[in-house]
Structure 1
Amino acid sequence: MTGRIYNVLFLCTGNSARSILAEAIMNKLGHGRFRAFSAGSQPKGAVHPYALELLQNLHHDMTGLRSKSWDEFAAPEAPQMDFVFTVCDNAAAEVCPVWPGQPMSAHWGIPDPAAAEGTEAQRRYAFTEAYRLLGNRIGIFLSLPLKAIDELSLQRKLDEIGRMTDRSTDSAA
């Protein structure tokens, strides 16, 4: 494999939980082959404290994690993305900016842990579950032979990953 680093952008509406978790997971599991970013269409302005706590407990590098607008990544000076994944249904339905370089994209919807209700333990569990689901999907994505498959087949695989159910991500991982 060449020294090529793929840029990946994870999008969500608020950019406070799911997309932040995905950014951290990809940066950890991507082993320098992938550089992940996250953004939101309507960023909350702060990362959810449960997301930060979970990432810290799992020894993720949290340098630079912040809630930010997707407009930052549509600007001319932004890094050119190779892949853009929406991780919430609202962001998938919104009209996204035009991304320089026309990256491949797919929808990998995950329930919003920030919207979880119940006891504190139940709300924290929602973050752990979102982390697990995203980790499974990202792990499957990282196992794809990106250089060896054509663009149409790759797009089909990315879409399949997004349609995986909880059971299918566990068995594929």
Structure 2
Amino acid sequence: MSPLAEAYLNDRGHGLIRAFSAGIDPAADLNRHVKRLLSAVGVKARGLAPKPVDIFLMPHAEVPDRVIYLSDQTQIAYPLHWKTTTSSHWWSIAEKPPFPQSFSACSIYFDRIAVAVDELISPSISVATPAA
């Protein structure tokens, strides 16, 4: 699920945002539906692969501006140098793992991811209607 978010956010960010995905217990291989879902919206899946979150917690790794959780999971323990600079956000795309692997479930997750990313990139602005 997170590689879908990585690819879509990187595409929609047009180089102004750089997203990386990782999991606490990543799959061995990319879900077989990822390329089909991304290609349907014109996004390339090149270079996508499941990754463990541990690689981003190493001292030499870049410190992220934000960590976005796609499921209702417990926050990971952030390194001390992240505490003041990194914010956490829960998008609640899915329940806790394990996630269903069917095409229909992946499609639903991707639709939710796309809505959340699009809102992050171009937030909707509410226009108040004047009182009569």
Q: TM-score range by the shorter chain?
A: 0.7 to 0.9
Counterpart of 2:26 in 1: which secondary structure?
coil
Partner of 1:60: 43
1:79 to 2:62 alignment? yes
Match of 2:127 in 1: none
Q: Give the unaligned 5+ runs of structure 2.
A: 124-132
Q: Could you tell me how far apart the structure 2 residues matched to 1:94 and 1:55 are? A: 28
Give the residue type in structure 2 aligned to 1:75: M
The answer for unaligned runs of 5 or more in structure 1 is 1-17, 118-122, 145-173
The 3 A distance-change label for structure 1 pair 140 and 114 is same
Say which SS state the counterpart of residue 60 (structure 2) adopts. Answer: coil
Aligned residue pair count: 120
Task: Note the C-alpha offset of 1:99.
Answer: 7.0
Structure whose alpha-carbon radius of gyration is higher:
2
Q: CA RMSD in A?
A: 2.3
Q: What letter is aligned with 1:42?
A: D
Q: Secondary structure at the match of 1:140?
A: helix
Question: Separation in 2 of the partners of 1:53 and 1:75?
Answer: 33
TM-score w.r.t. length of structure 2: 0.78
Contact 2:35 2:44 in 1 (8 A): no
The verdict on how the C-alpha distance between 1:24 and 1:99 changes in structure 2, with shifts beyond 3 A counting, is farther
Residue 98 of structure 1, aligned match among 72, 79, 98:
79
Q: What's the CA shift string for 1:43-97, capped at 9, x where partnerless?
A: 11211101232223333222221111101101122122111101012xx215334
TM-score by length of 1: 0.61
**Deviant stretches of 4+, over 4 Å:** none
Higher helix share: 1
Sequence identity percentage: 28
Contact 1:26 1:36 survives alignment (8 Å): yes
Q: Distance in 1 between matches of 2:80 and 2:36?
A: 31
Work out the CA distance in 2 between the residues paired with 1:116 and 1:61: 23
Structure possessing the higher relative contact order (Cα contacts under 8 Å, 6 or more residues apart): 2
SS at match of 1:107: strand
